[in-house]
Chain A
Amino acid sequence: MTAQTPDVRAEDVLLDGRVRIEDLVDRDGLDELCKSFHALFGIPVRVYSSEGALLADAAGEQELCAYVNTTPEGRKACSSVVSAVRARDAGDSGDLVHPCFTGAIYRIMAIEYDGRRVGRLIVGPFLPHTLSEPPASLAGVDPGISLERAKALLPKMPRAKAETVTRIAAHLKAALDLILFSGHKAHVTSTMHLASVRESYRQLEEKTARLQEAFDRLKELDRLKSNFLATVSHELRTPLTSIIGYSEMLAEGMAGELRPEQLEFVKTIHEKGGQLLSLIMGLLDLSKLESGTMRLAMRAARIEAVLGEVVSTLTPTARRKGVELELRLGDTMAELRGDPERLRQVFLNLVENAIKFTPASGSVTLRTRMVADDAEGEQEGLSLLAPTRSRLEVRVEDTGIGIPPRERARVFDPFYQIDSSSTREYGGTGLGLSIVKRLVEGHSGTIRIEDNTPKGTTFVVTLPQAAAIAAEGQRDTG
């Protein structure tokens, strides 16, 4: 089979359906088929394409023909008969007889497929049933031809009745037709398959382009939203600062002594104002982080300083709730490059959360340790790379209510809360963790959630080190 050119259109194959024998049939196989017919019936068979190319040949030279070919004129006459046979069309009926001067004949028959002629079958030379002697025409071709010799060779030529040849040819044509049909079907199937795949691919490409467009549009909208958020937060902060400031002044008695009830009201205004401000600051942080405009003041930072500060800030809160807060520093500490302010914000948030969700007599523990950078597939040269690739891990473990595994990825989404009722029970805006995650990522770090068996949650923050340095012993801070 010839190779399909990739740009064949299914429509052409479906409607045109023009077939060429040489495209559909294996040449050697066709040759074998003709040879088996020759072996079975003893009659030479050749198959020509509609363009006149010889596709299969099962015809040994007959002894009579070989004899005739030994004479110069005989050879000439023989080759002219052979080329006439080759050139001759099967005629309107699709079946005709072409005589040879030896008395033998050829049958030329059309091979049709799907109502079209696709080639010719040439059967012969063979002797007609009725012929008993070499015709006089044979001797006339060349004086060197002996009729006696020809007569002796004549019986060696195959001899057949016209009906027999018709039957044999019909059989061969039927076999060939089946092969053509099977080949055509396979050809159509594969063309269709290719076209279908191409069509599906084209559709997918279109769809992808549309999705990309929609995605770009959404990204643009998202950017606009972040800008809007930043602007609004900023604008909200200004009047709020006044509310907080003036309520503070009122509470301090700068506008005269307040009655206890008035003082209580003013303090509530001040407190709620403070809450509103922290929410707005959170929004501002988030929008800055999202738009990439937050600047981290990166410098050498020590995690024990950051965590120590966090623990001392939150120890009173923990005590009030009856939760034990503990810091356990590992024996090797790394110097980090980071923004200590923002790192403090990260751990304040995580520890505050941990305390919030841990019931009385529970505990919140901060642990640090150095871990090897164990990214998959990066084990080559580990002994060389590990010292420079190790990271600092800070684990914030609580014994609180825990986070179901399926929620763990989502808690870092802005405004997401596992269950909206927790807002009422525990407070919070749902902004904290999304800010934490972005800040950690801003430090090229990662954050994930693990179980704290048997109960509670562990937030694991890893941060790249500036250079590993050894710290002596393990220090516990209560």
Chain B
Amino acid sequence: MQINFGGREIAIKLVYYGPALSGKTTNLRSLHQMTTEGSRGRLMTLETKDDRTLFFDMLPLTFRAGGSAERAAGDRTMTLRVKIFTVPGQVLHASTRRLVLQGADGIAFIADSQISETEHNAASFLDLRQNLADLNLSLKQLPVVIQFNKRDLDRIRSDEEIAALASRGREPVFKAAAVNGAGVLETFFGLLHLTWTKLDAEHKLAKMMGVESSQLLPMAARQLGLEGDVSTLLSACVGGNLDRHSKVPA
């Protein structure tokens, strides 16, 4: 996280991690499609000609109290800029993954639900842990959510199995089929919720932004052009510690 008092900006970095071809970029594309312009910027993708992520993808989101229309010169409240990155999944881009991970405030681990990918998920998670260790970070300190993607495919790990695993794990788990948008917003808001709760507790961000802590998520949803209740999105979570830190905002 960076706080820039001069520019009245708070910047938060969320990273979508996971094995190659698990759907990290697809998550960002869907998120980009399902939200409206204004709060979200252009999706920047840096990919090779075979559609594999070369360095990263980046989707910037900007939230400010009262919405973008309210920008009086005397307004001293801060703007929250959320940047979502994906890492390149292919093994050979190890150094790029570590660079993208630098300074991450929260991580969404995008796992592939296919039974055949179970080992790749595990290997990538260990890789994440190692890279964080190299950066003097640990999974214990970081907000992490797990997404089991590709629920629309055959030969995937069953709902029961995921529910059983999730109930024992620390991380909130979301199920998704990012290619048609299912579970994408849920995962994002789950991660934003965890990250915001932690950073706000440490740095009093809500006060700087001039909002109630509990109002950030509903505000973000509104500014992204989403209708309905954020808590509905968060309730899609299976297991994990999503509610342990704070109440889900109504």
CB of A188 within 8 A of chain B? Answer: yes
Q: When each residue 161-189 of chain B gets 1 if its CB lies under 8 Å from chain A and 0 otherwise, what string results?
A: 00000000000000000000000000000
Is the CB of A423 closer than 8 A to any CB of chain B?
no
Do A196 and B96 form a contact, CB below 8 Å, given A11-B103, A115-B41, A189-B55? yes
- Convert A180-220 into 0s and 1s, putting 1 for each residue whose CB lies closer than 8 angstroms to a CB of B: 01001100110011011001100100000000000000000
Q: From A177, which residue of chain B is reached at the shortest CB distance?
A: B42
The answer on a CB contact under 8 Å between A192 and B41 is no
B16 at the interface (CB under 8 A from A): no
Q: Is B13 an interface residue (CB 8 A)?
A: yes
- Would you give the 0/1 interface string for A376-397, flagging 1 where the beta carbon is closer than 8 Å to chain B? 0000000000000000000000
Complex Cα gap A434–B189 (Å): 70
Which A residues between 107 and 124 are near B, CB-CB below 8 angstroms? Answer: 114-116
- Determine the distance from Cα of A188 to Cα of B100 in the docked complex, in whole angstroms: 12
A199, B2: Cβ atoms under 8 Å? no
* Residue B62 is within 8 A (CB to CB) of chain A in the complex: yes
Q: Which listed residue, A11, A181, A184, touches B102 by the CB 8 Å rule?
A: A11
* Cβ contact within 8 Å between B72 and A92: yes
Which residue of chain A is the closest to B71 with respect to CB atoms? A92
Q: Is B73 an interface residue (CB 8 A)?
A: yes
> Are B81 and A115 touching (Cβ within 8 A)?
yes
A-contact 0/1 string along B63-92, CB 8 Å cutoff: 000001001110000010101010000000
Total A-B residue contacts, Cβ distance less than 8 Å:
70
Is B32's beta carbon under 8 Å from chain A?
no
How far, in whole Å, are A11 and B102 apart by their CA atoms in the complex?
6
A203-B95 contact given A14-B83, A115-B62, A188-B46, CB 8 Å threshold: yes
| Contact assessment for B2 and A14 in the assembled complex, using a CB-CB cutoff below 8 Å | no
Contact of B99 (CB < 8 Å), options: A11, A92, A115, A189: A11
Given contacts A11-B102, A16-B2, A196-B96, contact A185 B44 (CB under 8 A): yes
Closest chain B residue, CB of each to CB of A197:
B95
A-side contacts of B95, CB under 8 Å: 196, 199-200, 203
A17 CB–B CB distance under 8 Å: yes
For the complex, count residues of A whose C-beta is within 8 A of B. 23
Q: 0/1 per residue, B37-60, Cβ < 8 Å to A? A: 000011010100000001110101
- Most A CB atoms within 10 A — which of B11, B79, B93, B99? B99
Q: Least Cβ distance of A453 to chain B in Å?
A: 47
User: Looking across the interface, which residue of chain A has its beta carbon closest to that of B44?
Assistant: A185
Q: Which of A15, A116, A184 is within 8 Å of B13, CB to CB?
A: A15
A188 touches B103 (CB 8 A): no
- Supposing A14-B58, A17-B60, A115-B41 touch, asked if A192 and B83 sit within 8 A by C-beta, the answer is no
Give the contacts of A1-26 with B (CB-CB under 8 A). 10-11, 14-18
Which residues of B (1-27) have their CB < 8 Å from a CB of A? 2, 4, 7, 11, 13
Most B Cβ at <10 Å: residue of A11, A16, A115, A188: A115
User: In the complex, which range does the number of interface residues on chain B fall in?
Assistant: 20 to 34
Residues on the A chain within 8 Å of B83, using CB: 14-15, 17
Q: In the complex, what residues of B have CB within 8 A of residue A11's CB? A: 99, 102-103
Task: Give the docked Cα–Cα distance between A450 and B96 (Å).
Answer: 49
Closest-CB distance, A196 to chain B (whole angstroms): 5
Asked if A192 and B56 sit within 8 Å, CB to CB, the answer is: yes
Q: Does B98 contact A (CB under 8 A)?
A: yes
B63 CB to closest chain A CB (Å) equals 10
**CB–CB B73/A92 < 8 A:** yes
**Residues of chain A lying within 8 A (CB to CB) of residue B98:** 199
B103 and A195 within 8 A (CB) = no
Q: Is A188 a contact of B44 with CB atoms below 8 Å? A: yes
Chain A residue contacts of B102, Cβ below 8 A: 10-11, 14
| Bound CA–CA A258/B105 (angstroms) | 93
Whether A196 pairs with B46 at a CB distance below 8 angstroms is no
From 362 to 382 in chain A, residues with beta carbon under 8 angstroms from any chain B beta carbon are none
Contacts of B42 in A (CB 8 A): 114, 181
Residue of A nearest to B2 (CB): A15
**Nearest-neighbor residue (CB-CB) of B42 within chain A:** A181
Chain A to chain B contacts (Cβ below 8 Å), 26 pairs:
A11-B99, A14-B13, A14-B58, A15-B2, A16-B4, A17-B83, A92-B72, A92-B73, A114-B41, A114-B42, A114-B62, A115-B41, A115-B60, A115-B62, A115-B68, A115-B81, A184-B44, A188-B46, A188-B55, A189-B46, A189-B55, A192-B99, A195-B99, A196-B55, A196-B99, A199-B96
Name B residues whose Cβ lies closer than 8 Å to a Cβ of A.
2, 4, 7, 11, 13, 41-42, 44, 46, 54-56, 58, 60, 62, 68, 71-73, 79, 81, 83, 85, 93, 95-96, 98-100, 102-103
Q: A residues touching B (Cβ–Cβ < 8 Å)?
A: 10-11, 14-18, 92, 114-116, 181, 184-185, 188-189, 192-193, 195-196, 199-200, 203
Q: Which 7 A-B pairs have the closest CB atoms?
A: A199-B95, A115-B62, A11-B102, A192-B55, A10-B99, A200-B95, A196-B96
Q: A14-B85, A115-B62 are in contact. List 19 more A-B contacts (CB 8 A).
A: A14-B58, A15-B2, A15-B13, A16-B2, A16-B11, A17-B60, A92-B71, A92-B72, A92-B73, A114-B41, A184-B44, A185-B46, A192-B55, A192-B56, A192-B99, A193-B55, A195-B99, A196-B99, A199-B99
